[in-house]
Amino acid sequence: METPSSSLILDRETKASERPGDHKDELRLWLRLLTCSTLIETEIRNRLREEFKTTLPRFDLMAQLDKTVVGMTVGEVSQRLMVSNGNVTAVVAGLIVDGLVDKRAAPQDRRVQILTLTAQGRKVFRAMAERHEEWIAELFAGLEQADRGQLFRLLGQTKTSLHRAIAGRAEEAAKGDA
Amino acid sequence: METPSSSLILDRETKASERPGDHKDELRLWLRLLTCSTLIETEIRNRLREEFKTTLPRFDLMAQLDKTVVGMTVGEVSQRLMVSNGNVTAVVAGLIVDGLVDKRAAPQDRRVQILTLTAQGRKVFRAMAERHEEWIAELFAGLEQADRGQLFRLLGQTKTSLHRAIAGRAEEAAKGDA
DNA sequence: CAAAAATATTTTAGGCTTAAAATAATTTTG
DNA sequence: CAAAATTATTTTAAGCCTAAAATATTTTTG
């Protein structure tokens, strides 16, 4: 329990954001983060369509496959892209039709499907990736390098905070189930 | 062509990010921003479904309408949410069926449709908004308040950078058209 | 070893999203 | 003022995305 005087001090000296039960600052932070993310995503989507007649989900999927020579399973790709398995299945289907991706069952475990870029897929992706990197640099060009570094670090802490909060809640749910 | 000595100095003294034509740092920054955004969005989506049996697009749309008493046009909502007009039309259709939103043509300009929350819609939204605010605060709880402030400022600069880059490119395109 | 459990993926059903074309209404212009 | 241009929205067609159920395969267990 707080004494009346201590809460008086709180009322006088704290910012609006510190009012008990008020979380408007965090909300504004989230909305600003979302705005940045949406602006970038929409712009990249538009440029991929205009310059390469492709979509962001396809690009993202190919980007994962470009990181490996031995290929990647459906589950691995879905985890990395933070999308559902079914979604990977669907996007891959389109890429296979276009001859950019190859899919085959793993010989030692036939449940597993191994995805790889075809030679053409790798060539096409590399060309897009180069432009993509330029676009991103252009979009962030208005920030000083030091600020970009600072932002990168803060987003790292944010990621940690998010993972902790999400894992914490998953535990609660598991406890409830048991 | 560079002299061997100048490129030696570059190799020795500059960070990887400063190699000419290399923009890996900006790319990593973008991917980290996207990760944070996706983690939050997915978590909020899940909680809205579990706790209120609704979706994020519906929640976001209602959040816009909650800001006004006189209502908002389809175009206004679509601009604020950064989604297409057609998308607003579709999501609104669902909300109307559920009795949460009302739509009527403006009397002075019958092209314009004015959207408002119904009394029930406002009540339902307010309950969700309170929980939503708590969730967001929880997700950012691992960040010091000072860091949240710093992050907010940096994202503000990022927004400015993005708007400038996007507007700049739109001008180029317009020039090309003319 | 066979039944049960676990794992990996696909399918299904339904909602979101977009760009582009179509519709409807208003404003501008010759 | 009527045709043309503009503005606001809706429709359409196609792709993305998810959760949950179904399928196929492998591993565990009694």
Contact B159 A35 (CB under 8 A): yes
Residue B85 beta carbon within 7 A of nucleic strand D: yes
The rounded mean pLDDT for chain A is: 87
Please identify among residues 68-97 of chain B the ones whose CB lies closer than 8 Å to any CB of chain A.
Answer: 82
What pLDDT does B8 receive? 45
Q: Is A64 a residue whose pLDDT tops 70? A: yes
What pLDDT does A60 receive? 95
Structure-token match 């402030």, residue found = B149
Q: Is A12 a residue whose pLDDT tops 90? A: no
Which range scores top for mean pLDDT: A5-14, A93-102, B165-174? A93-102
Instruction: Band the pLDDT of B93: cuts 50, 70, 90.
Output: very high
Q: Are the C-beta atoms of residues A117 and A94 closer than 8 Å to each other?
A: no
CA dihedral B46, B50, B55, B60 (to 10 degrees): -80
Whole-angstrom CA distances from A128 to A47, A115, A133 are: 10, 19, 9
In this structure, chain A runs to a length of: 178
Instruction: Band the pLDDT of A177: cuts 50, 70, 90.
Output: very low
List b or e across A102-122, with b for residues whose CB sees 16 or more CB atoms inside 10 angstroms: beeeeeeeeeebbbbbbeebb
What pLDDT does A44 receive? 95
Q: Read off the pLDDT of each residue in B70-87 and give the average, rounded to a whole number.
A: 95
What pLDDT does A7 receive? 46
Q: Is A4 a residue whose pLDDT tops 60? A: no
Distance from CA of A37 to the nearest CA of B (A): 6
Q: Is B137 a residue whose pLDDT tops 50? A: yes
Q: Is B116 helix (H, G, I), strand (E, B) or coil?
A: strand
Structure tokens at A98: 């276009």
Predicted TM-score (pTM) above 0.75: yes
Closest alpha carbon to A48 in A57, A56, A36, A40: A56
What pLDDT does A23 receive? 85
Instruction: Band the pLDDT of A79: cuts 50, 70, 90.
Output: very high
Instruction: Band the pLDDT of B178: cuts 50, 70, 90.
Output: very low
Residue B103 beta carbon within 7 A of nucleic strand D: yes
pLDDT tens-digit profile of B21-66? 788 899 999 999 999 999 999 999 999 999 999 999 999 999 999 9
A72-73: strand order across its sheet: A72-73, A113-117, A101-105
CB pairs under 8 A between A and B: 172
Structure tokens at A22: 């008020």
Q: Is A87 a residue whose pLDDT tops 90? A: yes
Q: Is B1 a residue whose pLDDT tops 50? A: no
Residue B74 beta carbon within 7 A of nucleic strand D: yes
Contacts of A35 in chain B (CB under 8 A): 82, 159
